[in-house]
Amino acid sequence: MVLVELGTGEPVTERARIEILDAAAACFMERGYAATSIDDVARRLRATKGRIYHHFSSKADLFAQIFRTGMDMNFAAIEPFRSLDEPAVDVWTKMARTHVRQMIVTRAYQRVVWEGVEMHLRGATTPEQRSQFNELVEYRTQYSNVFRAQMARARDEGDMHFADLSIANQMMFMALNSPIFWYKPRPGENMQDIDNIVDQIVAFARGGLGGKDKEES
Amino acid sequence: MVLVELGTGEPVTERARIEILDAAAACFMERGYAATSIDDVARRLRATKGRIYHHFSSKADLFAQIFRTGMDMNFAAIEPFRSLDEPAVDVWTKMARTHVRQMIVTRAYQRVVWEGVEMHLRGATTPEQRSQFNELVEYRTQYSNVFRAQMARARDEGDMHFADLSIANQMMFMALNSPIFWYKPRPGENMQDIDNIVDQIVAFARGGLGGKDKEES
DNA sequence: TGATGAACATACTACCCGGTATGTTGTCAA
DNA sequence: TTGACAACATACCGGGTAGTATGTTCATCA
């Protein structure tokens, strides 16, 4: 699923790392961080703790690396649209669609991102892990700001209408992120079905931001 | 905060129950269900486990009663609007505003409701607790259906435009519930400030549902 | 072929947490 | 006055969990 070859490195070791990340992300998605034990993750891998602690220093470290991987994927996905020379509302729409698809396709990782932000807001974790969490949340804030900038531009260009930018940004991400909570893959579902869902979500968010419909003359 | 006098009962006992519910709701909001220990709740009350287990049979029972209380408050809040003889979009708007205010004012309880639904979707809890959870989630679904019905009517009346009713309902609640995640009371904040936030949230949701602005002729 | 180390599995420990069993104290009715 | 009970506090137990220490296996390389 996640394919990141680093350097001239060890594809075997990297493969093992990713398998663990995927399994852990799935567990965290199903039960949440606190309710997931390392043994749960190991069981899903048909392995034992030893395998996990050989690659990750702690449960929090495992969680943090899933967080980072999820955000890496998000940044990579919207990268092609970040500096398009088009009306901001169009750039925003393309990024939003891509973002929603990411939420659906990489649900498990995105749930971890969500829970990570929540944990940070609540002030969990130990002081030492705190700095790493701060960095990750900052990373996510940068991502958020990419959308925020397009929204501000779109408002200036008269294509969006909302009062407070921060609140609008919050609402937008709540809408775009929502499928990580309620989307369940249906058997026999194809790309059109998913695109249909994506369209409705983006349409909702654009409408919420006072964006005009493309169809109006 | 929660004032429910039952029968000709014991106001003292009821008061003690509510204090525990408030403290537990605050803990669950801050750390989540799994990460909150009964001792955490007791500590917040400057008491010990004994007090809690004297009034509640288990951690899950405590959680469930917060869930129920939260939904009771929600139902009570929208009750005056449920059968108004007005355009559906207006009824919806009044209910939505009331709902969002509830989310802000009773944040802690509403976070428990949220987490309870999540836990149910993920299939946590033991089989016995399962039936009680099913009932609570059903209770919440009934609440959701009150809004759903108005949305369907508003679409029929030409005042809202969306494709799939279920998805629209999901998106709407994501938007209206969103302050339970990001709202933090500001020192010196008054009712106008809150109403301003409520307005923006409801405006976002109405826009998302393709609702027309009141101001347009 | 022998040594070395990566990639695990096994075994163990210290700790925390839900739940229970058992005090203790104050109140109130007879 | 006493006894009975509500409303807690205290003490304790068993199970689970993060993390560690210690095997074990197998490939690679000198």
Burial B73-104 (b: 16+ CB within 10 A, else e): bbeebbeebeeeeeebbebbbbbbbbbbbbbb
User: Using CB atoms, which residue from A31, A122, A207 is nearest to B31?
Assistant: A122
Q: Do B35 and A209 touch (CB under 8 A)?
A: no
Query: Contacts of residue B199 in chain A, CB cutoff 8 Å?
Result: 163
Interatomic CA distance for residues B110 and B94, integer angstroms: 19
User: Which pLDDT value is given to residue B82?
Assistant: 93
DSSP state of B159: S
Interatomic CA distance for residues A114 and A171, integer angstroms: 15
Mean pLDDT of B105-115: 98
Residue percentage of chain A with pLDDT more than 70:
91
H helices present in A79-216, as ranges: 88-105, 107-122, 127-156, 165-177, 179-182, 191-208
CA distances (Å), origin A4, targets A1, A72, A77, A89: 10, 10, 14, 32
Q: Do A34 and B34 touch (CB under 8 A)?
A: yes
Minimum-distance residue to C8 (CA–C1'):
A51
Query: Contacts of residue B178 in chain A, CB cutoff 8 Å?
Result: 170-171, 174
In 3D space, the residue among A41, A204, A114, A192 whose CA is nearest the CA of residue B204 turns out to be A204
CB atoms closer than 10 angstroms to residue A66? 28
Which residue, among A196, A204, A216, would best test binding to B if mutated, counting the most B CBs under 10 Å from its CB? A204
Q: Are the C-beta atoms of A35 and B59 separated by less than 8 Å?
A: no
In 3D space, the residue among A101, A122, A105, A107 whose CA is nearest the CA of residue A27 turns out to be A107
B140 CA: distance to closest CA in chain A (Å):
15
> What angle do helix axes B165-177 and B191-208 make, rounded to 10 degrees?
160
| pLDDT greater than 80 at residue A152 | yes
DSSP codes joined into one string, B112-152: HHHHHHHHHHHT-S-HHHHHHHHHHHHHHHHHHHHHHHHHH
Q: Do B124 and A31 touch (CB under 8 A)?
A: yes
- Asked if A13 CB < 7 A from strand D, the reply is no
**pLDDT one-digit tens code per residue, A83-93:** 899 999 999 99
- Asked if A49 CB < 7 A from strand D, the reply is yes
DSSP three-state, residue A209: coil
Interatomic CA distance for residues B96 and B80, integer angstroms: 13
Q: Dihedral through CA A125, CA A131, CA A134, CA A138, nearest 10?
A: -160
- Kind and range of the H or E element at B77? helix B59-78
User: Which pLDDT value is given to residue A4?
Assistant: 38
**pLDDT one-digit tens code per residue, A15-46:** 999 999 999 999 999 999 999 999 999 999 99
H helices present in B32-58, as ranges: 38-44, 49-55
Tell me the two tokens of residue A117.
Answer: 């932000």
Q: Are the C-beta atoms of A167 and B201 separated by less than 8 Å?
A: yes
Interatomic CA distance for residues A13 and A8, integer angstroms: 12
User: Which pLDDT value is given to residue B149?
Assistant: 98
> What angle do helix axes B127-156 and B107-122 make, rounded to 10 degrees?
110
Minimum-distance residue to D11 (CA–C1'):
B50
Q: Are the C-beta atoms of A191 and B128 separated by less than 8 Å?
A: no
Tell me the two tokens of residue A14.
Answer: 């990297």
Interatomic CA distance for residues B32 and A34, integer angstroms: 9
A34 CA: distance to closest CA in chain B (Å):
6
Q: Which residues contact B112 (CB under 8 A, 6 or more apart)?
A: B25, B28, B29, B33, B63, B66, B67, B70
pTM: 0.92
A88 CA: distance to closest CA in chain B (Å):
19
Interatomic CA distance for residues B169 and B163, integer angstroms: 11
Residue length of chain A: 217
Interatomic CA distance for residues A147 and A92, integer angstroms: 7
User: Which pLDDT value is given to residue B109?
Assistant: 98
User: Which pLDDT value is given to residue B89?
Assistant: 97
- Asked if A58 CB < 7 A from strand D, the reply is yes
User: Which pLDDT value is given to residue B180?
Assistant: 98
Q: Are the C-beta atoms of A46 and A20 separated by less than 8 Å?
A: no
Interatomic CA distance for residues A103 and A181, integer angstroms: 10
| CB proximity A118 to B under 8 Å | yes
Mean pLDDT of B49-73: 97
Q: Do A201 and B167 touch (CB under 8 A)?
A: yes
What sign for the dihedral angle of Cα A90, A96, A99, A100? negative
| pLDDT greater than 80 at residue B8 | no
Q: Report the nucleotide nearest the CA of residue A36, measured to C1'.
A: D17
User: Which pLDDT value is given to residue B11?
Assistant: 63
Q: Which residues contact A134 (CB under 8 A, 6 or more apart)?
A: A120
Q: Report the nucleotide nearest the CA of residue A45, measured to C1'.
A: C8
DSSP three-state, residue A165: helix
Q: Are the C-beta atoms of A71 and A139 separated by less than 8 Å?
A: yes
User: Using CB atoms, which residue from B118, B122, B164 is nearest to A200?
Assistant: B164
pLDDT band at B61 (very low <50, low <70, confident <90, very high): very high
**Distance from first CA to last CA of chain B, Å, rounded?**
42
- Residue A109 CA to its chain's centroid (Å): 7
In strand C, the nucleotides that come within 7 Å of a protein beta carbon are 6-11, 16-23
Q: Do A174 and B170 touch (CB under 8 A)?
A: no
| CB proximity A185 to B under 8 Å | no
